[in-house]
Amino acid sequence: MAAVDSFKQDAPTVALPGLGRALILAGKLGQKAAEDIYRKAQTGRTSFIAELVGSGAVSAYDLAHTMSTAFAAPLLDIEAIDLQRLPKDLLDAKICQAYRVVVLSKRNNRLIVATADPSDQEAAEKIKFSTQMGVDWIIAEYDKLSKLVDASAVSANEAMEGLVGGGDFDFEDSVISAAADVAEVNTSEVEDAPVVKFLHKMLLDAFGMRASDLHFEPYEHNYRVRFRIDGELREIASPPVAIKEKLASRIKVISRLDISEKRVPQDGKMKLKVGPDRVIDFRVSTLPTLFGEKIVIRILDPSSAKLGIDALGYEPEEKARLMHAIGRPYGMILVTGPTGSGKTVSLYTCLNLLNKPGVNIATAEDPSEINLPGVNQVNVNEKAGLTFAVALKSFLRQDPDIIMVGEIRDLETADISIKAAQTGHLVLSTLHTNDAPTTLTRMRNMGIAPFNIASSVILITAQRLARRLCPQCKTPLDIPNKTLLEAGYEEEELDGSWQTYGPVGCSACNNGYKGRVGIYQVMPISEEIQRIILRDGNAPEIAAQAKREGVRSLRQAGLYKAKLGLTSLEEVLAVSNE
């Protein structure tokens, strides 16, 4: 019984962490001392290792050597590390702070991480989850490692504080003055200097990198900023998650949004000067998520609508069809494609060509993205009752020549647009469909009579944006004929007179691509297609007739761009269906 009582007395009363057990096995710490230190750490809400070294029970030097031996891990004098040469942005600073670790380098898909406690499985799992990479530990003395972690945090903070907001740019005064219209604005919050500079820098960087959108995304333990460049999202920055509220407030104030409303989505606009005579518009959209408001800012460069139709990438026959259609005195021209496919730029390019002193042009959009002098632009406001249909009815009383409707969303808007096209007006609009033939059947499904479709629609353009191969580093590819045939090329095209190219990647591009090129299916509504519509024909019938009339499908248009070496076959297959 005495032996049993002795065993009960010596048995551990708390579940010690791996570090404590390793020190007991190495004879560096007694069981009771380890338990006392662990309880003290829990009471004081500190880490076991901090309490261990702070109490003097084990020196940082002894701890590091013991851990190196026990876990067969290399030992490093962390003071020999140059802080400036450490890799940046491989691991969130909050994780480094919480677990007292420092990333030393990256080897293939593994991180080399300095730690004083290699038994910390929670830290290892957190790093793996955050980076999607494995972890190899290097042992360092706890006190020296802590100093380096703190120094890294200060350095990151200083970098944030020192973000340069200079350069020849600023927010427009007219937009900044909107802050006065917002009730109870917390000036100290929204005017926080580092946040203002950070936002300025992100917007300017996005413009310089030719990004189309900026995504500000809050999560539970981190915050990230991504840019959409050439159609692909790329992570650009991981600022401290603590700035999410201040950053959202700053963006809302200059976008004339309600900073107190965080429960529902909001939409707004702002401007940024990037030169003495250059102003860029931004469209702002907020969305409440689990851990804060996600904000997406779209860059709207008015100059893109003035580049001319040749810059959009239309082939000569496609351009001729479009120019003939916009030269007609009345009728409806529809542009279709997914969000971000360049529909707005295409419409405004056409409007810019039509914008003459003797022409009255009115547009209804949700919202107006590009400011075009000489065009009467109206922002749809559903809450106030200003819908597309209401705006169109008003336009018809304003003696218009040309009407542009941002999107045909319902039967009422479609009916008024068609009546306008049938009564002497040129109407331009967009629909969300996959290609030109399905646009006609989509209108039929909306409830529009076949006669009205056939008598009003004169041309439909379906479009996509494909990434353009970098001219400096693109490389010839030897693709088997079987693969080319499966992609959609005809047998007679494989005569060896052309070459396919693929991406490589260089300092001048983004993974082998630089910019984007338009892929278009331009389908005029011929008399034969009108007959198919009138007899309520389906999309395949219309597509077959369009093909007989020389209209390329989106896949064929993309394959032609690949044939010219403008984009890759892989990119064409990704953006088109067949």
Q: Give the domain extent around 277.
A: 192-300
Give the helix ranges, DSSP H, for 171-211.
173-176, 187-190, 193-208
C-beta of residue 284 within 8 angstroms of C-beta of residue 272: no
Q: Which range scores top for mean pLDDT: 63-67, 96-100, 164-168, 402-406? A: 402-406
Q: Which has more pLDDT, 185 or 18?
A: 18
pLDDT for residue 174: 36
Percent of the chain whose pLDDT exceeds 90: 31
Residue 381 lies in a domain: yes
Residue tagged 């761009």 (tokens) = 561
State the average pLDDT over residues 261-266: 90
Which of the listed residues 265, 300, 335 is the one where a domain comes to its end?
300
pLDDT surpasses 80 at 263: yes
State the average pLDDT over residues 64-82: 83
Which of the listed residues 123, 152, 181 is the one where a domain comes to its end?
152
Domain match, 296 and 308 both: no
What is the SS3 assignment for 162?
Answer: coil
Radius of gyration of the chain (CA): 32
Residue 483 lies in a domain: no
pLDDT surpasses 60 at 175: no
Residue 430 lies in a domain: yes
Residue 117 lies in a domain: yes
Which of the listed residues 97, 129, 152 is the one where a domain comes to its end?
152
Q: How far is 37 from 67, CA to CA, in rounded Å? A: 18
**Which of 308, 305, 318 minimizes the C-alpha distance to 561?**
318
C-beta of residue 355 within 8 angstroms of C-beta of residue 370: no
Q: How far is 532 from 530, CA to CA, in rounded Å? A: 5
Tens digits of per-residue pLDDT, 318-367? 999 999 999 999 999 999 988 878 888 888 889 988 999 999 999 998 87
Compute CA distances 276 → 168, 170, 178, 203, 425, whole Å: 7, 10, 22, 17, 39
pLDDT surpasses 70 at 187: no
**Which of 286, 292, 209, 207 minimizes the C-alpha distance to 243?**
292
pLDDT surpasses 70 at 243: yes
Domain match, 138 and 278 both: no
What type of residue sits at position 557?
A
Tens digits of per-residue pLDDT, 526-566? 999 999 999 999 999 999 999 999 999 999 999 999 999 99
pLDDT for residue 307: 62
Could you tell me whether strands 211-218 and 292-300 are parallel, antiparallel, or unpaired per DSSP bridges?
antiparallel
Residue 74 lies in a domain: yes
Tens digits of per-residue pLDDT, 219-232? 988 999 999 988 88
Whole-number average pLDDT of the chain: 83
C-beta of residue 271 within 8 angstroms of C-beta of residue 280: yes
| Nearest 10 degrees: Cα torsion 521, 524, 529, 530 | 140
CATH of the domain at 223: 3.30.450.90
Q: How far is 145 from 115, CA to CA, in rounded Å? A: 7
Give the helix ranges, DSSP H, for 100-139.
121-131
Domain match, 101 and 200 both: no
Domain match, 252 and 351 both: no
Residue 406: which region, alpha, beta or left (left: phi > 0; alpha: psi -120 to 50)?
Answer: alpha
CATH of the domain at 399: 3.40.50.300
C-beta of residue 402 within 8 angstroms of C-beta of residue 359: yes
Domain match, 374 and 316 both: yes
Q: Which has more pLDDT, 63 or 85?
A: 63
Domain match, 328 and 421 both: yes
pLDDT for residue 276: 60
CATH of the domain at 102: 3.30.300.160
Q: How far is 388 from 381, CA to CA, in rounded Å? A: 9
Domain match, 80 and 229 both: no
pLDDT for residue 302: 65
pLDDT for residue 275: 62
pLDDT for residue 51: 82
HSE of 393 in the Cβ direction (CA atoms, 13 Å)? 7
Tens digits of per-residue pLDDT, 25-61? 888 888 888 888 888 877 777 788 888 888 888 888 8
pLDDT for residue 295: 95
pLDDT for residue 304: 62
If one counts the domains in the chain, the total is 3
Residue 12 lies in a domain: no
HSE of 222 in the Cβ direction (CA atoms, 13 Å)? 18
Residue 2 lies in a domain: no
pLDDT for residue 239: 87
Compute CA distances 37 → 56, 139, 141, whole Å: 11, 22, 19
Domain match, 39 and 118 both: yes
Weakest-pLDDT range from 267-271, 306-310, 388-392, 498-502? 306-310
State the average pLDDT over residues 444-471: 92
Domain match, 64 and 109 both: yes
C-beta of residue 247 within 8 angstroms of C-beta of residue 268: no
Sequence-distant (6+) residues with CB within 8 A of 362 are 375, 376, 377, 378, 395, 398, 400, 402, 403, 404
Residue 157 lies in a domain: no
Domain match, 25 and 136 both: yes
**What are the strands, taking DSSP E only, across 21-117?**
102-107, 110-115
What type of residue sits at position 339?
T
Strand partners, 171: 272
Work out the pLDDT band at 303, boundaries 50, 70, 90: low
C-beta of residue 447 within 8 angstroms of C-beta of residue 411: yes
Q: How far is 289 from 296, CA to CA, in rounded Å? A: 13
pLDDT surpasses 90 at 72: no
**Which of 281, 272, 345, 285 minimizes the C-alpha distance to 313?**
345
Domain match, 30 and 135 both: yes
pLDDT surpasses 60 at 168: no
Domain match, 378 and 522 both: yes
pLDDT surpasses 50 at 10: no
Weakest-pLDDT range from 116-130, 266-280, 420-434, 499-513? 266-280
Q: How far is 86 from 105, CA to CA, in rounded Å? A: 7
Q: How far is 509 from 27, CA to CA, in rounded Å? A: 58
Cis peptide before 367 (omega within 30 of 0): yes
Tens digits of per-residue pLDDT, 409-445? 888 889 999 999 999 999 999 988 889 999 998 999 9
pLDDT for residue 188: 40
